[in-house]
A and B are shown apart, each in its own frame.
Chain A
């Protein structure tokens, strides 16, 4: 009797912080955001339920355009992140392995201990018109005058790939490490080419890691603010900036809340598609990373 009661008290004591955290900082704030996004200001301190915030989004080509652009660039950035990190993950897990592989892995993780702000500052110093790379190009005689390498779409893409690589590398390495070399050797002995080994053995085996990495990278890219704002300047046209503008600059919380929900919806849909494609469960993916 008393033991059962004590177990209950312990359970309640442990449930309280979890429920308080999820309720007060996640659940209720999102309910508030939903309420905000579904109302319209009709006078001072007067509001009415309406869908006009969402209507504005669909009828105003600018917002719509930026939304689609953000989604597409995020997809491309995710693809490039995968292409850039896969060879490195292979080298760490398969080509080097052991101590050398572990050392290279640690070396690759080092830059991500430093904040995104610092890393972006580095790219700005490298790429701006008076920066390191443009002046190097002039010195090498490749260009006559320094070219502005900031504020292009390619710059934003570069920055996004750079800043999120870690979240692709870690799941890739762990999924490749679990691939048995004997499978590759057997395929090779049976006459398979390197390409067909990659396509029929390595990629299918690494698929869970690839999905996990792609989901996280896509989500972080979509929600990124700093990199597009600093590397893209006025041309960045990133959706999170629209949310910021509505919420903080214009103080139009209703519109900002609707934008927030649209971004959240897009991110959720893409995560679900990723999970469905690879047939994985949400919890497993999150634990992988």
Chain B
């Protein structure tokens, strides 16, 4: 119950116990992944054999390949990075145009369009993947039959992975950016126009700075989600596997502490990104806090 009401001791005790158990449940898998990246044994399992950095640096004498020599894994990190950059750029760009379309214009069919924009989020990722795969392959077939083009980018591979992830992340970017645009005080824009600013100047000096937190935030979400996406990616992947698909394949084959090492790298990277975002948003709030009326 809420603090203003008397709570029996057992209820308070039970609440505290549940909270503790929940936090253990939440963090145990991550802690275990991190800890076994440093275990001096060829298999990520107890007992503890002592601390080692072999799973990062490798150890030729012991025949161990570390993360830094595992070209396949490093390559897949780079692949994921490239995909994530493209997905982020596309999603934020289309998210921004969508936000203006929904918030600044009134046209026939707008209601329908605003519902359609949400649809990609309720289609299971696997189905987004296979439908884009099937459609792209149809287009490739047509291009070949009609014009004799060899449309390689329409075959399973990274361009399709980018498009597949973009197909639903554009919705997330649209929601984030249009939510902020909706709260924009349009009198600021009108004042600037009245004072003789051009539309381009208004856009650059007022709208873009105002939207910046939403742009940065949605970019970070798209980037992280692109790195983590599995369902859609699995259906569209070609010869070059992004990190999640590569890890999945290795996890099915068997366990190796190298996977723990690469996971730890992912955790540290996303923690850093989350922290810097938090920092940024706090700073921005301090600066852009509205003056007391």
Contacts and interface: CB of A to CB of B under 8 A. Distances in A.
Q: Are both chains from one complex?
A: yes
Interface in B99-143: 100-101, 105, 107, 113-128, 130-136, 138
Contacts of A162: 25, 29
Label chain A's interface by main secondary structure: helix
Given A244-B234, A256-B130, A95 B267 contact: no
A243 B126 contact: yes
Given A257-B134, A286-B118, A114 B267 contact: yes
A246 B36 CA distance: 37
Contact of A33 (B114, B122, B130, B271): B130
Contact of A88 (B22, B117, B179, B234): B22
B2 interface: yes
Contacts of B255: 124-125, 128
Given A240-B231, A260-B130, A32 B138 contact: yes
Interface residues of B, number: 88
Interface string B76-89: 00000000000000
Interface string A80-100: 000010011001001101000
B167 A26 contact: yes
Contacts of B118: 282-283, 286
Contacts of A164: none
A165 to B, nearest CB: 8
Contact of A184 (B1, B170, B271): B1
B175 interface: yes
A247 B31 CA distance: 37
Interface string A93-114: 0110100000010011011011
A153 to B, nearest CB: 19
Most chain B CB neighbours (cut-off 10 Å) among A223, A230, A244: A223
Contacts of B170: 21
Interface string A25-61: 1101110110010000000000000000000000000
A239 to B, nearest CB: 9
A287 B43 CA distance: 44
Nearest to B47: A135
B23 interface: yes
Interface string A206-222: 00000000000001001
B222 to A, nearest CB: 13
A243 B259 CA distance: 27
Interface string B18-31: 11001101111111
A18 B227 CA distance: 24
Interface string A221-239: 0111110011000000000
Interface string A104-133: 100110110111111111111110101110
B224 to A, nearest CB: 6
Contacts of A120: 251
B4 interface: yes
Nearest to A188: B5
Contacts of B134: 29, 32-33, 36, 253, 257
Interface in B54-81: none
Nearest to A241: B126
A191 interface: no
B24 to A, nearest CB: 11
Contacts of B166: 21, 25
Contact of B130 (A22, A88, A117, A243): A243
B124 A240 contact: yes
Contact of B122 (A22, A24, A226, A271): A271
B282 interface: no
Contacts of B23: 107
B218 interface: no
Nearest to A286: B118
Contacts of A256: 130
Contacts of B248: 117, 226, 229-230
A113 B18 contact: no
Given A17-B93, A114-B270, A119-B30, A30 B131 contact: yes
A122 B231 contact: no
Q: Which 7 A-B pairs have the closest CB atoms?
A: A122-B29, A223-B124, A115-B228, A29-B131, A29-B135, A25-B167, A14-B101
Given A108-B26, A263-B127, 12 more contacts: A18-B113, A33-B130, A113-B270, A120-B251, A135-B45, A181-B2, A223-B126, A225-B230, A225-B234, A243-B130, A264-B123, A282-B115
